[in-house]
Amino acid sequence: MEESGTNPRFGSTLLVIATTMIVAGVCVATDQPNDLQTDLQIWQSFREALRSGRMADPDRYRPLRPELRQPLMGFLDELRKTAKWEDGGPTPEVFHVGNQVHYVVPLTLQRGDSTPTSTTTSTFCFTLVLEGDQWYFQHLESIFIRLDKIGDPPVSSFPDLPDERTRTLTTVASVARRPPFRSRKISS
């Protein structure tokens, strides 16, 4: 005669569910380092392609807007020429949004001559889009406010930028406000 409240099938079902949850938890926990390792391998692959000039191939780009392909290619080529490419370089912070992977990383850039004062370090956010096993360059940002670094809202002040960066941004803003150059037809 079976006691009330005890059912061998119920106990077996609970055991299967508990075992499945434990195994799934272990799989998820062990999968996370592999994802970061894969992200860093993708970053190193992109970094090496950029450093070596292989990013000159337009097929390596998936810009947000097609007309941005050529400007992005030009900017990355300039970065390739001016960045100090130490072995390995700094490890980027990695953020996933859908099939995009954002790499936030500081780069030291050489300006003009090779004196120590002609270098500047700026933080860049490189966005790569993943399609299957392949990555493509999508976007680059160098002007941003790290909302994850400013504290809890409400926020009434933000970290100051270095003077050189402020001068650069002021120059960019003033050039952007200038009326476009229009050629005049010269009568003969």
pLDDT band at 158 (very low <50, low <70, confident <90, very high): low
Residues 6+ apart with CB under 8 A from 123: 104, 105, 106, 107, 142, 144
Asked if 125 contacts 134 with a C-beta cutoff of 8 angstroms, the reply is no
In this structure, the number of other CB atoms found within 10 A of the CB of residue 172 comes to 11
CATH of domain 13-149: 3.10.450
At 43, the pLDDT band (50, 70, 90 cuts) reads very high
β-partners of residue 109 are 83, 120
Alpha-carbon span 39 to 101, nearest angstrom: 8
pLDDT of amino acid 90: 87
| Residue whose structure tokens are 């004196």 | 115
Q: What is the distance between the alpha carbons of residues 83 and 110, in angstroms, rounded to a whole number?
A: 6
Residue 20, SS3 per DSSP: helix
Tally of CB atoms within 10 A around 46: 21
Percent share of the chain, pLDDT over 70 = 62
Residue given tokens 């936030």 in the structure block: 104
Domain boundaries, the chain: 13-149
pLDDT in tens, 30-39: 333 448 899 9
Tell me the pLDDT tens digit for each residue of 63-83. 999 999 999 999 999 999 988
User: In sequence order, what are the residues at sequence separation of 6 or more whose Cβ sits closer than 8 angstroms to the Cβ of residue 73?
Assistant: 55, 56, 58, 61
